[in-house]
């Protein structure tokens, strides 16, 4: 299962665009990239998933370069309510049936 | 479509007691997984059920058990509670049990053991 590396924390201000980059050098050919958002004492919430190029939904965009060794989650015009931990996962569940969550990126949005 | 629901949301127990947590997956989802989340250990996998059968199990003692019913609802039980069992217990569901299946999480049950 591909190991992921994300910044531990990021700071931003309301109204700014936030880009969180995840490195996954060992991504396998059939691996998808998935991002979750988690607020304190709540379950992770699925944000977006992609395989290559760009994916966009009502919440975020996901940019994946051609070599797929990294991906960038883009949150447009963040608000205070976007303060959360963001996890990048690659490859879905491993053979043991479990999702492997890394440390995640703690995003703090300030007024 | 309703999301994953978990009951109760909060629970306080004392050492030695047992507890049962419930999870209702998204309608049509047949795979249910349970995770324990603590500040120090992050998210740790407990077990996964698919079609009423346990398919995978994490590295937890036998005090942690679970089951799944024919309607895909699942319960997990922790017997002889210890202080270290205080955590957020999360349930996640997916359509099937495939590796690339997206899992959707419930809000969690916050368990405090005194």
Given a cut of 60, whether residue A38 has pLDDT beyond it is yes
Cβ-nearest to A98 among B45, B100, B105: B45
CB A104 within 8 A of CB A5: no
Whole-number percent of chain B with pLDDT over 70:
96
Whole-angstrom distance, CA of residue A54 vs CA of residue A65: 8
Given strand A45-50, what is the order of strands in its sheet?
A: A9-13, A105-110, A84-90, A33-38, A45-50
Q: A63 — contact with chain B (CB < 8 Å)?
A: no
Q: Do B100 and A97 touch (CB under 8 A)?
A: no
Look-up: residue for tokens 């190029």?
A53
For residue B32, list its beta bridge partners: B49, B93
Give chain A's mean pLDDT.
91
In terms of CA atoms, which chain B residue is nearest residue A1? B99
pLDDT of residue A1: 57
* pLDDT of B42: 84
CA A52 to chain B, closest CA, distance in angstroms equals: 15
With 90 as the cut, is the pLDDT of residue B81 above it?
yes
Cis peptide before B113 (omega within 30 of 0): no
pLDDT given at position A96? 65
A81 three-state secondary structure = helix
pLDDT for the residue B54: 93
Cross-chain residue pair A42–B45, CB shorter than 8 Å: no
Output the six-digit token pair for A51: 């395989």
Size of interface A-B (CB pairs under 8 A): 64
pLDDT tens digits for B1-47?
A: 689 999 999 999 999 999 999 999 999 999 999 999 998 888 898 99
**Residue A43 distance to chain B (closest CA, Å):** 5
- Asked if A97 lies within 8 A of B105 by C-beta distance, the reply is no
Interface with B, mutate which of A6, A29, A43 (most B CBs under 10 A): A43
- Of the candidates A100, A21, A91, A10, the one whose C-alpha atom is nearest the C-alpha of residue A62 is A21
């Amino acid at each position: 299962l591909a190991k992921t590396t994300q910044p531990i924390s990021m700071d931003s201000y309301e109204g700014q665009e936030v880009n969180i980059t995840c490195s996954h050098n060992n991504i396998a050919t059939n691996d998808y990239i998935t991002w979750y958002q988690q607020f304190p004492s709540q379950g992770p919430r699925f944000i977006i998933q992609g395989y290559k190029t760009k994916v966009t939904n009502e919440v975020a965009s996901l940019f994946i370069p051609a070599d797929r060794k990294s991906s960038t989650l883009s949150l447009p015009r963040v608000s205070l309510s976007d303060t959360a931990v963001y996890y990048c996962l690659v490859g879905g569940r491993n053979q043991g049936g479990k999702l492997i969550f890394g440390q995640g990126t703690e995003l703090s949005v300030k007024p | 479509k309703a999301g994953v629901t978990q009951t109760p949301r909060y629970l306080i127990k004392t050492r030695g007691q047992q507890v049962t947590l419930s999870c209702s997956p998204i309608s049509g989802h047949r795979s249910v997984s349970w995770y324990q989340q603590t500040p120090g250990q992050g998210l740790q996998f407990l077990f996964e059920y698919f079609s009423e059968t346990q398919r995978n199990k994490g590295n937890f003692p036998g005090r942690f058990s679970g089951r799944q019913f024919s309607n895909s609802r699942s319960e997990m039980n922790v017997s002889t509670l210890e202080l270290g069992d205080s955590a957020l217990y999360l349930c996640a569901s997916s359509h099937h049990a495939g590796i690339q299946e997206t899992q959707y999480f419930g809000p969690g049950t916050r368990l405090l053991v005194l």
